[in-house]
Amino acid sequence: MVNLVHVLEKEDSGKKIEHILRSRFHFSRKLIQKLKLGEYVWLDGDFIFLNSTGKEGQTLIVNLQENEESTIKGEDLPLEILYEDSLFLAVNKQADQVVHPNSRYQTGTLANAVVGYWEKKNEYRPFRPISRLDRNTSGIVLIAKNRYAHQQIARQSAKKQLTKKYLGLVQGQFPYDSGEFNYPIRLKEDSKIVREIHQQGLPSKTLYRTLKRYQDFTLLEFTLVTGRTHQIRVHCQSSGYPLIGDDLYGADTSHISRQALHCHSYAFTNPLTGQRTVIHAPLPEDMKRLIEADSV
């Protein structure tokens, strides 16, 4: 059972429960409507309607549990879990794995693995990834276990309260210690996949910090301010220092078989506890080997 528990305070007295859920816990209109459809809200052990009021000291409980069959087939696949609580699951996605099934990849995806993991625990819910990664980008994918969790992270994202960082290896000796790429990105007119810098594109901003320069490569840390498709990859290409292995954007592929990009840090505020949660994913072996070879 996943519950939001709140002991009513003095300022809550006399206020409608719906108002408390909106003002204190930022429930969306859509979630409020869902709560009205069943026995989800309780006060001191008794079911109540959302237009009810309470008084100081009473215990408000909102049942956030969902038991919905996923439309995705669960599979028994390897899954590296980095973090899990009642609202969220964070996993370390491997390179060459698609996040969600599509017409080309219908099995073996991260979604199949996560649903299979839940099914083994007799838990049933839709697959709701909060973040997505390209097939050949490795690292953290955060998944919401229910509508409330997904809505709260979307709210934090809109308020720029999420911090998502990547590690990437670019070709050559990158000349700057820190700065930003702030160039609009759009889909190329003659492509369904490739993006480009263009004045008619969407605003796109990436912060970068040089961590270490090697003989032929440079290790950079990127912080996303916006989240456009292929954003880091396009920004690196436009700088003249593409990500190693990124054949889509003209990089050398002789050292690694995919773009050397890894989501290594994800930070958000847990909506139930108010605590800041920071998740880390270790550098993958293929990027480690690349660094070791270039350090000799």
Q: What pLDDT, in 10s, does the model give residues 49-61?
A: 999 999 999 999 9
Q: What pLDDT, in 10s, does the model give residues 197-244?
A: 999 999 999 999 999 999 899 999 999 999 899 999 999 999 999 999
- What is the pLDDT at residue 274? 87
% of the chain at pLDDT higher than 70: 99
Whether 296 shows a pLDDT value over 70: the answer reads no
Q: Of residues 46, 85, 96, 134, which has the active-site annotation?
A: 134
Extents of the domains making up the chain: 3-63, 163-263+289-295
- What is the pLDDT at residue 2? 77
Whether 1 shows a pLDDT value over 70: the answer reads no
- What is the pLDDT at residue 205? 96
CA 56 to chain centre: 37
Whether 169 shows a pLDDT value over 90: the answer reads yes
Distance, CA of 167 to CA of 171 (rounded, Å): 14
Q: Write down the CATH superfamily of domain 3-63.
A: RNA-binding S4 domain (3.10.290.10)
The answer to whether residues 261 and 247 touch, using CB atoms and an 8 Å cutoff, is: no
Known catalytic membership, residue 134 = yes
Where does the pLDDT of residue 153 fall: very low under 50, low under 70, confident under 90, or very high at 90 and above? Answer: very high
pTM, whole model, 2 decimals? 0.91
Q: What pLDDT, in 10s, does the model give residues 281-290?
A: 999 999 999 8
pLDDT, average across residues 127-143? 94
Whether 71 shows a pLDDT value over 80: the answer reads yes
Whether 275 shows a pLDDT value over 80: the answer reads yes
Q: Do domains 3-63 and 163-263+289-295 have the same CATH topology?
A: no
**From residue 103, how far is each of 76, 128, 269, 288 by CA, in Å?**
21, 19, 35, 33
Torsion of CA 103, 193, 248, 259, to 10 degrees: -60
Q: What pLDDT, in 10s, does the model give residues 21-67?
A: 999 899 999 999 988 888 899 999 999 999 999 999 999 999 987 77
- What is the pLDDT at residue 241? 96
Q: Write down the CATH superfamily of domain 163-263+289-295.
A: Pseudouridine synthase (3.30.2350.10)
Mean pLDDT for the chain overall: 92
- What is the pLDDT at residue 295? 65
pLDDT, average across residues 185-205? 94
